[in-house]
C-alpha cells in the first residue's frame, strides 16, 4: 500500500489541503477572464480550458448563444460570456468583439504552450451538412474560411458574421484556422457544423500531450 516515497501526502486519503504543484506551467489551471470595453460593445469572457462543457451565455443573439454553446459542449471548455453592445445597429460589432475577447482569453489561458498538442482538426456532420476545421496554435494569426452559406440570416444571426467571429478569434488567439463547409443546404446546419468542428479541433489542439510534458511543440523552441 504505502509505496511512493516522495509525494508526501497520504496516498488516497481525503483531498490533501496542499495542492501538488507540478513544475510544468501546462499543468497550472488553464483559465482566464478578460473584459473588453469599447464605445460599441462591453464584453466579458471567462474560459476554463479543462472544463466539462458548461456554458453561461448572454449575447442578445439567440442563435449566436446556440453556437457558443456548441464551442463549450464539444470543446469541453467551460465558457462564460456576457456581451452587451450596439445591437440596435446590427450584430456586427458584438459578434466580432466576442470573437476578439474569446481569442484573448484563450491565448491567456494557454500560456507558453509547453506540452500543448498544438494542432487539432475535426470533421463534423449534421444531416446533409459537413464541415472541416483545422487549427494550429502557431502564434501566427490566419483565417482561411470557405463557407457558402445558403441563407443570409439564421434567426437573428447574419451568417456573414461567422467570418467576423473567427477572424477576431484567430487574430487574438494567434492561431491559424482553416474552415471549410464541404456540403450543406441548410444554413443553420452549415453554421452549426462549423462551430462544432471548431470546438472539436480546439479540444484536440488544446489537449496536453503526455509524451511532450514541458516541451514547446516547435523546433523554434517557442510559439
Ligand atoms: Mn441547432
Q: For each of the chain's 223 residues, which pLDDT tens digit applies?
A: 333 434 333 344 444 444 444 444 455 789 999 999 999 999 999 999 999 999 999 999 999 999 999 999 999 999 999 999 999 999 999 999 999 999 999 999 999 999 999 999 999 999 999 999 999 999 999 999 999 999 999 999 999 999 999 999 999 999 999 999 999 999 999 999 999 999 999 999 999 999 998 899 999 999 9
Taking the centre of ligand 1 as the mean of its atom positions, its distance from the CA of residue 59, in whole angstroms, is 17
Homologous superfamily of domain range 28-212 = Imidazole glycerol phosphate dehydratase; domain 1 (3.30.230.40)
- How far apart, in Å, are the Cα atoms of 116 and each of 28, 185, 212? 13, 36, 8
Helices H / strands E in the chain, number of each: 4, 10
Q: What is the pTM of this model?
A: 0.88
Taking the centre of ligand 1 as the mean of its atom positions, its distance from the CA of residue 191, in whole angstroms, is 9
Taking the centre of ligand 1 as the mean of its atom positions, its distance from the CA of residue 64, in whole angstroms, is 10
Taking the centre of ligand 1 as the mean of its atom positions, its distance from the CA of residue 18, in whole angstroms, is 43
42, β-bridge pairs: 37, 84
Taking the centre of ligand 1 as the mean of its atom positions, its distance from the CA of residue 30, in whole angstroms, is 29
Taking the centre of ligand 1 as the mean of its atom positions, its distance from the CA of residue 93, in whole angstroms, is 23
- Distance between CA atoms of residues 44 and 58, nearest Å: 10
Amino acid at each position: 500500500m504505502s509505496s511512493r516515497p516522495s509525494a508526501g501526502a497520504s496516498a488516497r486519503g481525503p483531498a490533501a489541503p496542499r495542492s501538488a504543484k507540478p513544475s510544468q506551467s501546462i499543468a497550472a489551471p488553464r483559465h482566464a477572464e478578460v473584459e473588453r470595453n469599447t464605445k460599441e460593445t462591453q464584453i466579458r469572457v471567462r474560459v476554463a480550458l479543462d472544463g466539462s462543457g458548461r456554458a453561461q451565455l448572454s449575447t442578445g443573439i439567440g442563435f449566436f448563444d446556440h453556437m457558443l454553446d456548441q464551442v463549450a459542449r464539444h470543446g469541453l471548455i467551460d465558457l462564460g460570456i456576457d456581451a452587451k453592445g450596439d445591437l440596435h445597429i446590427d450584430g456586427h460589432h458584438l459578434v466580432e468583439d466576442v470573437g476578439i475577447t474569446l481569442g484573448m482569453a484563450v491565448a491567456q489561458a494557454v500560456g507558453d504552450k509547453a506540452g500543448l498538442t498544438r494542432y487539432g482538426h475535426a470533421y463534423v456532420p449534421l444531416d446533409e451538412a459537413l464541415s472541416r476545421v483545422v487549427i494550429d496554435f502557431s502564434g501566427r494569426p490566419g483565417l482561411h474560411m470557405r463557407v457558402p452559406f445558403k441563407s443570409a440570416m439564421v434567426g437573428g444571426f447574419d451568417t456573414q458574421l461567422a467570418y467576423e467571429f473567427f477572424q477576431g478569434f484567430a487574430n487574438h488567439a494567434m492561431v491559424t484556422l482553416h474552415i471549410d463547409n464541404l456540403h450543406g443546404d441548410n444554413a443553420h446546419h452549415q453554421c452549426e457544423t462549423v462551430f462544432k468542428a471548431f470546438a472539436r479541433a480546439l479540444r484536440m489542439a488544446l489537449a496536453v500531450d503526455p509524451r511532450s510534458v514541458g516541451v514547446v511543440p516547435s523546433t523554434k523552441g517557442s510559439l
